[in-house]
Amino acid sequence: MRMGKQLRLCGKAPWGKHFLTAALVLVFLILSGSQNANAIPAFARKYGLRCSACHESWPMLNYFGQKFKDNGYQLMNDRDAPIWQNPGYWPVTFRIIPIWHRVSTGKVLVDTYPGGVNSPNSAVQRVTTSGFDLSGLDFHTGGTLEKNFSFYVLPSSDATGSFHFETVMARLDNLFGSPWLNLKLGKFELDNLLSEKRILTLTGNGGIYQLYHFIPVGDGNIFGQMGDNQLGVEVMGHSWNDRTRYSAALISSVDGNVGLPYGSAYTGFFTFSQAFDTGKLGVDRIGAYAMIGEAPTYYLTQAGTPLAGSGITNKGFNREGFVGQFYFGQHVDLQVVTQHGSDNVWFGQGYGDLIGGTVSGNNLPGTGLPTGAQAPSWNGVLFEPHYVFSPQLILIGRYETIRMSKQANGAACVACGGSGGPSASNFGNISTYTVGMRYNPFMTSRAGFAWHNEYNWLHQDGTGPTLGLGTVNINTSEFLTGFDFDF
């Protein structure tokens, strides 16, 4: 489920003296997502803990919660195996969010008078709408089938009740008795240190990480979206205290779509991170990631109709960057993600994506590249600070910016609607700001509830309708308030 693209869930409680010390230092680990969640009150019920044992502010994990997840939803004690649970225990949670929101989009092309879009009376206006609404609905179930055999299943719907499987995975934990070797198979979230599935924000543009989904204007490569759950296999491992982590995943280049709709192509996603104890400040972590893959650009045809699943002429793409989690005492933390991305020149010209079971004319064999075509590349950075006033109240901020370093059209500006010449150097650049507040009036092992308030503003260069006005930028804003609850 996803308000702009997705959603998440649950919570917190005390442990022994050793854990309390770690929890106080880390009370603000920063992990996020969009709308699908991988945290459920059922885990708290199973072990008799408050949701706050694993979450800074649900669904965002703290240090202990990340370790619990890395161990395959296990505490590594006798209560891990389901045979020891009450027969009435059923690890199922639902989550849905009733909201009120106001969305305002500037520079929208409208027909102010009869005569058609191309008439002299056409104009651009700001379009604003507001009202009561719903998020989608998530049904979470997960845990252990037996000790060291874990699973997670998440059927998720949009706001109209149209369901799909967001997560379906089984995992073999601690192979050969070592936490350094765990094997996962199915559809799952990539091992991003800043998790989009546990994101604390919910607006259409603020409820996702733009870095994880960025596609240059006119580009046909949908396959490099790090924020989408993917189909594949993952090997991951960690030290006994979870300070050192690595993962390596091999996924089908289908952006999580089932049925092999594109062809035979694969992508690798690799991460590594190391945590350091900085004394009174907390436990900081730095790491790196790389997504390296290929996907089809052409499709075979039958009687002139493109064939789904017949993708050929695979071309490459990559995304790589650094991540960091930094703590400044018990109330303030900052998470940072950087990215450099690049697509093959064919993707930059609109080749690649199979849309709605058909392909555009650009995807048919026999076409060629226009003059001046080049491989698009870009750089981006994300800063997300949190101020945790108390375990029940958290203030959220985020700034993201993405800047094109090389446009796909070096000589012929087709995508930007010009009559010739290269695309402007800033064409498609994005800047976005998000601020928010979540208040949890209670924290128990049975349910989660948060009063959520959020504002997002997004700016993109040069993508508005021109109408002879030259370069037109787009500004979109959204304010949202609602009750985020799960049970």
Give domain status of residue 35, yes or no. no
- Percentage of the chain with pLDDT > 70? 73
Max mean pLDDT among 193-197, 325-329, 457-461 falls in 457-461
pLDDT bracket for residue 174 (50, 70, 90) = very high
Over the stretch 401-426, which tens digit does the pLDDT of each residue have?
A: 999 999 998 754 444 444 445 678 99
Segment 108-133 shows an average pLDDT of 74
- With a pLDDT cut of 90, the percent of the chain lying above it is 51
In a domain, 148, yes or no: no
Determine the average pLDDT of the residues in 233-248.
94
State the average pLDDT over residues 9-34. 35
pLDDT band at 16, cuts 50/70/90? very low
- Which tokens hold the place of 318? 């990559």
Strand partners of residue 435? 397, 455
64-92 average pLDDT score: 65
Across residues 463-470, what is the average pLDDT?
68
Least confident of 13-27, 174-188, 233-247, 311-325: 13-27
pLDDT mean across residues, the chain: 81
pLDDT band at 7 (very low <50, low <70, confident <90, very high): very low
**pLDDT band at 476, cuts 50/70/90?**
very high
More confident residue, 243 or 447: 243
471 lies in some domain: yes
Neighbouring CB atoms inside 10 A of 174's CB total 17
According to the 3-state scheme, what is the secondary structure of the chain? CCCCCCECCCCECCCCHHHHHHHHHHCCCCCCECECCCCCHHHHHHHCCCCECCEEECCEECHHHHHHHHCCCCCCCCCCCHHHCCCCCCCEEEEECEEEEEEEEEEEEEECCCCCCCCCCEEEEEEEEEEEEECCCEEEEEEEEECCEEEEEEEEECCCCCEEEEEEEEEECCHHHCCCCEEEEEEECCCCCCCCECCCCCCCCCCCCHHHHCCCCCCCCCCCCCCCCEEEEEEEEECCCCCEEEEEEEEECCCCCCCCCCECCEEEEEEEEEEEECHHHCEEEEEEEEEEEEECCEEEEECCEEEEEEEECCEEEEEEEEEEEEECCCCEEEEEEEEEEEECHHHHCCCCCCECCECCHHHCCCCCCCCCECCCEEEEEEEEEEEEEECCEEEEEEEEEEEEEECCECCECCCCCCCCECCCCCCCCEEEEEEEEEECCCCCCCCEEEEEEEEEEEEECCCCCCCCCCCCCEEEEEEEEEEEEEC
Q: Is residue 236 part of a domain?
A: yes
Q: Is residue 63 part of a domain?
A: no
Q: Given pLDDT bands bounded at 50, 70 and 90, which one contains residue 475? A: very high
Q: Where does the pLDDT of residue 56 fall: very low under 50, low under 70, confident under 90, or very high at 90 and above?
A: low
CATH number of domain containing 391: 2.40.160
Range in 238-242, 253-257, 265-269 with the lowest mean pLDDT: 238-242
Higher pLDDT, 73 or 257: 257
Phi, then psi, of 387 in degrees rounded to 5:
-120, 115
Does the pLDDT of residue 358 top 60, yes or no?
no
**pLDDT for residue 313 is more than 80:** yes
Q: Is 250 domain-assigned?
A: yes
Query: Sorting pLDDT into bands at 50, 70 and 90, what band is 321?
Result: very high
Number of domains in the chain: 1
pLDDT tens-digit readout, 263-304: 899 999 999 999 999 988 888 999 999 999 999 988 887 776
pTM score of the predicted model:
0.81
Instruction: State the residue range of the domain holding 273.
Output: 97-136+193-486
Q: Is residue 154 part of a domain?
A: no
- In a domain, residue 438? The reply is yes
